[in-house]
Amino acid sequence: MPLSAEVCARLRRIALENAIAHGDEPRAGPVVARLLSQEASLRTRAAEVRAEADRIVREIGAMDPAARGAALAALGGPEARAPRAMSENRGAEFPDLPGAVPGAVVVRLAPFPSGALHVGHARMLYANDHYRQRYAGRLLLVFDDTPGSEEKRVESEFYDIIRGDLDLAQVRPDAVYYKSDRVGAFYPWAVRTIEAGGAYVCHCPADLLRANRAAGEACPERAQRTEETLREWDRMLAGEYAVGTAVLRLRTDMRDADPAFRDRILFRLSDLDHPRVGRRYRVWPMLEFSWAVDDLELGITHVLRGKDLVIEDRMERFLWDLWKVKGPEFVHWGILRIREAKVAKSKAYREVKSGVFDGWDDPRTWSLRSLDRRGITPEAVRAFILSFGMSLSDIEVPAESLYAENRKLIDATTMRRSFVADPVEVDVSGWPAGLTTTELPNHPDRPELGRRTVEAGPRFYLARQDVRAHAGEEVRLKDLANIRLPPDVPESLGRLVAEFTSRENKRIPRLQWVGATSAVPVDLLGLEGDHTSGMGEGALLAAEPRQSEPLSS
């Protein structure tokens, strides 16, 4: 009997909601998992559900966004509204943006291109994307690629790496900008700042500048008149000063309670070769000044970022007040830490470049691509991040919270395959001639996912530690038969001989096994960069990247 029209409509609704929520083509796996988690009676027909889901997602993949919205509305009912973010369904707090107008909200992402995006960037990605969707607004990707330092340099490869990370995260920006392309646009604002009496050119060495700032003491140039500062600024632009000998500084209050806010630098000189503009510019804006300008000129309406960046807020507001303009609203979140995640972008850069890490998808980087390599889906990362809302509280959670979110999405439809680590080959004497293959469940708790035929002896791979732990004992090869291991296990294990005893399902130790004839070598990369070698069942050869097939071991 074919699937009912009601079931097909529910699949279509889920697929449309998935596509609209993520601004991308739907994926059959999460669509099927969601339906089966809601309707247990359909689990015995998982194959039929998957086939229908495949057909539906192909159809929806060919639609443009407007057509998808119309198709969802045509299904009718209360669920035909625009889908809410997963976190909202779980009660997370995403307050209305102050002064937000549907269709007019513009938010931004501002990565520095010196490495891949990691799990610490995920809140920036998904919170901004959430509000972009909520208000039918726009999301800008603005590469914050002004020169860093010799140790933290802009590198061309990271533009493409970061754009690939956004694709992986299923976050699609509406437009892309590069600070390095806009350097000339910042200069008129520097003049405007000088003419408002808000800046001066300082020649203090860096160590003296820091000491004066800490002591609240002004440098001699702070008394410059506007005309003199404009001349000094022109000399900076003309290349008359060496790097490190002149900066444009903002006049704030040298007795401000926060020493870091006292006369901060607005522009500095750099001779570093930039991957996009070479040495076209020597005078570069500092972070806060560039954003004070770009947030105005790019039409940003709301800046969403961590509460640790409040000094950047102060700087932008100070400059907007000086220029007598109104800038966007600031909205903050608290610090979110995953307990096991050792996130350090500069360290990851060094280790990847030196070859210590196995590329940017090495699990020790905790990059988004490393999570993908481990089978943690973008949907899981999004749901995990958005579950914390915009709370200002600092939060530390175990990585298991993320893993649990992932299991919710993939467990129902993910088939298992067998693997044994550090294997030893075992020949079983007296093995029944007719027992050369057996059927095993594809999932221990999901009979609807069917069974598979695998090779079943008389030669097996068993884990070396299991053989040593149960030497001389009768053990059960999981879901298959019972054997007795030899009593004497040499220190250096070669091929061993065991004895078949019975097929009775006894209450004895159960060992994971892999049939030796069709087994394939497997190398597992662990969370700390460690490698575990072993043998897996031959079906693993058919596994493809991004297809979740966890190993049972």
DSSP character string of 90-124: TT---PPPTT--TTT-EEEE---SSS--BGGGHHH
- Give the Cα separation of 536 and 542 in Å (integer): 12
**Looking at the domain 106-182+334-411, which fold is it?**
Rossmann fold (3.40.50)
Return the residue matching tokens 């190993």.
Answer: 551
- Give the Cα separation of 63 and 75 in Å (integer): 16
Residue 189, pLDDT score = 98
Hey, what are 505's tokens? 């399902």
Residue 322 and residue 196 in contact, taking contact as beta carbons nearer than 8 Å: yes
Q: What is the pLDDT of residues 59-101, one digit of tens each?
A: 888 887 778 877 877 775 433 334 333 333 344 689 999 999 9
Proportion of the chain above pLDDT 90, given as a percent: 65
Q: What is the pLDDT of residues 451-480, one digit of tens each?
A: 999 999 899 999 999 999 999 999 999 999
Mean local confidence (pLDDT), 41-70: 81
| Domains 106-182+334-411 and 183-289 agree in fold | no
Residue 522, pLDDT score = 95
Residue 544, pLDDT score = 72
Q: What is the pLDDT of residues 514-532, one digit of tens each?
A: 999 999 999 998 888 889 9
Residue 84, pLDDT score = 38
Q: Is the peptide bond before 458 cis (omega within 30 degrees of 0)?
A: yes
Q: What is the pLDDT of residues 337-382, one digit of tens each?
A: 999 998 877 888 889 999 999 899 999 999 999 999 998 999 999 9
Output 201 or 147, whichever has higher pLDDT.
201
Q: What share of the chain is helix, strand, coil (3-state, %, to 5)?
A: 40, 20, 40
Q: What is the largest CA-CA distance in the chain?
A: 100
CATH classification number, 183-289, choose in 3.90.800.10, 3.40.50.150, 3.20.20.80, 3.40.50.720:
3.90.800.10
- Give the Cα separation of 166 and 188 in Å (integer): 33
Residue 470 contacts by C-beta under 8 Å, 6 or more apart in sequence? 485, 509, 511
DSSP character string of 482-526: EEE--S---SS---EEEEEEE----SS-EE-EEESTT-EEEEEE-
Q: Please, what is the Cα angle at 157 between 338 and 302, to 5 degrees?
A: 55
Q: How many residues does the chain have?
A: 553
Residue 37, pLDDT score = 56
User: CATH top-level class for 417-552?
Assistant: mainly beta
Output 415 or 429, whichever has higher pLDDT.
429
Residue 82, pLDDT score = 41
How many angstroms separate the Cα of 250 from the Cα of each of 15, 115, 202, 215, 310?
53, 31, 10, 17, 17
Q: What is the pLDDT of residues 210-224, one digit of tens each?
A: 888 889 999 989 999
Q: What is the pLDDT of residues 99-147, one digit of tens each?
A: 999 999 999 999 999 999 999 999 999 999 999 999 999 999 999 999 8
Q: Give the residue extent of every domain in the chain.
A: 5-83, 106-182+334-411, 183-289, 417-552
Q: What is the pLDDT of residues 174-186, one digit of tens each?
A: 999 999 999 999 9
pLDDT value at 553 more than 50: no
